[in-house]
Amino acid sequence: MSLKGKIALLNTVLMSIVVIFLLFFMISISDSVIDTSSRNQLKYILEENAEEIEWDDGELELDDVDFYVNHVSTLIYSDDGFFLEGNIQNREFFDQFPLTNTYFTTVNLDGVEYLLYDLLVESRKHDNVYLRGIVSVTEMSETVSLLFHLTLVSLPFFILFAGFGSYLVTKRSMKPLEKIVETAQEISHGDDLSLRIELGKGKDEIHQLAETFDIMFSQLEQAFLTEKQFSSDVSHELRTPTAVILAECECNLSEKASPEEQREALEIIQKQAFKMQNLISALLNFVRLDNGVCKLEKEELDFCELISLVCEEQETLLSENQEIFVDIPSSVYYSMDYGLMIRVLSNLIVNGFQYGKEKSWVKVSLSETEENILVTVEDNGIGIAEEDFERIFHRFYQVDTARSSKNNMGLGLSMVAQIVKLHHGTISVSSELGVGSCFSLLFPKTLNKSEK
Ligand code: ADP
């Protein structure tokens, strides 16, 4: 049975139990309710009728008296007990009971129970009269019991109606859930990760669930596309050196190549093999960082000391036309992975010079606020076009391949971004073509502290 069927059935059973329970409860208290309401009604009607009794020239005026109202019959007797007015079957039977004042009496005639109530109406000038109110308690009980039986007979129809209504309501509220299942099934069968549930606006749990699923699908799609792109980029990058190696081998194996030519071919093969080796080790680093195999070995270090160290090291590699500046405070401590942070800084500094002009400089600065530490690596190089700001952080993306050396594969900045992200930081770039670029790394202090 479907979930909506189950819920509808459960609702119906529950409702029916409640109705049946209510019905039996009402029947069990009906006797005392009938008794109390009969007494109240009897008393009320007699008091009303008592007020309508008048004397006109010594004559009793009964025109305004209601002799039968709401199942209550009223009889009128004289002060000494003679019947004067009123109409009820078997009246003589009721006449035999002595008249009282404001008392209830229960009598039984042929198995029918009656409630009697007498009221004395006093008059100063004329003779007093008695009013006797009579109501059949059995008649009232029968009315209630008839109602009860009618309800019992109509109960199956009520249950059917409730069940059907409950099914419709459940079906309607389950519709969004069906859409979630449908979309998930479509994605799993058709591999189309671009599908979304898109339930629209709503704050209930089902809408929240659909929204969470949609976010998850987007992330899955993004991860899937990145993986796809990565695999295609890797195979593309490996195809060229492999093709070169194979061509060189074929050439030198098939023809009688001179030793010089063979040596030349070997040199080309070695160059391509180095390129592949570089690519493989870079990829390995990525995978290790991605999978968490290469765990961050964080320690509280002086960021300024680390920057000085990297800059000094890079300075030894500079040519005459290249200069490096450092603008840092005396010490700023931060918890970081020493080896990885060195990789970040050296990559940015090397890029600054590699994509620099003839006379080039790179400036590394550090400043801090209460919340963050900001490291910037600025250069006066060729600059980067605005449309490439985001793309340069993608794997294998290179703006100007002519400038890249054999070791450049467009992986440096994506690795830098990955390491910064692992330190909960962010990286951004601002640049102007022909003027220079500035890479800014922002590291939050709070997350860093809470991790310790
Ligand atoms: P690679 O240097 O191996 O090509 P990167 O990921 O380090 O790869 O850089 C990606 C691209 O971004 C480079 O090809 C280059 O065109 C551009 N780039 C990086 N740094 C700079 C810079 N400081 N100035 C100008 N262009 C840069």
Residue nearest to atom 12 of ligand 1 (CA): 392
Give the span between the Cα atoms of 147 and 312, in whole angstroms. 101
Residues ≥6 apart with Cβ < 8 Å to 183: 195, 196, 197, 213
- pLDDT of the residue at 23: 82
Cβ of 408 closer than 6 Å to ligand 1, yes or no, is yes
CB of 352 sitting under 6 A from ligand 1: yes
- State whether the beta carbon of 237 lies less than 6 angstroms from ligand 1: no
Distance 359 CA to ligand 1 centre (A): 18
Question: Which residues on adjacent β-strands are paired with residue 54?
Answer: 61
Residue 360 has a pLDDT of 95
| 115-129 per-position pLDDT tens digit | 999 999 888 777 889
Greater model confidence, 190 or 404: 190
Q: Record the pTM.
A: 0.56
Question: How does pLDDT run across 239-254, given as a tens digit for each residue?
Answer: 888 998 998 888 888 7
Distance from the alpha carbon of residue 432 to the mean position of ligand 1, in angstroms: 14
Angular region, 195: left φ>0, alpha ψ -120 to 50, beta rest: beta
Give residue 241's pLDDT. Answer: 86
pLDDT of residue 287: 77
Q: What is the mean pLDDT of residues 294-323?
A: 91
- Tell the residue nearest (CA) to atom 7 of ligand 1: 412
In DSSP terms, which residues pair with 132 in a beta bridge? 75, 118
Ligand 1 atom closest to residue 350's alpha carbon, by position in its atom list = 23
| Residue closest by Cα to atom 19 of ligand 1 | 351
Q: Is the pLDDT of residue 263 over 80?
A: yes
At what angle are helices 205-254 and 137-190 packed, to 10 degrees? 10
> Residues 391-432: pLDDT tens digits?
999 888 888 666 555 567 788 898 899 899 989 999 999 999
Percent of the chain residues past pLDDT 90, beyond the cut: 35
Q: What's the pLDDT at 336? A: 93
Q: Is 404 in the pocket of ligand 1 (CB under 6 A)?
A: yes
Predicted pLDDT at 381: 94
Q: What is the pLDDT of residue 292?
A: 64
Tell me if 390 CB under 6 Å of ligand 1.
no
pLDDT, tens digit (0-9, with 9 covering 90-100), for 331-378: 999 999 998 999 999 999 999 999 999 899 999 999 999 999 999 999
Of the chain, the percentage scoring pLDDT greater than 70 comes to: 95
Query: Which pLDDT band, with edges at 50, 70 and 90, does 387 fall under?
Result: very high
**pLDDT tens readout for residues 87-143:** 888 888 988 888 888 889 999 988 888 999 999 988 877 788 999 999 988 887 788
**Mean predicted lDDT score pLDDT of the chain:** 87
Cβ atoms of residues 381 and 355 within 8 Å = yes
Report whether 277 contacts 407 (CB < 8 A): no
Confidence of residue 55 (pLDDT cuts 50, 70, 90): confident
**Amino acid letter at 7?**
I
d(CA 365, CA 382) in angstroms, rounded, equals: 20
pLDDT at 450: 54
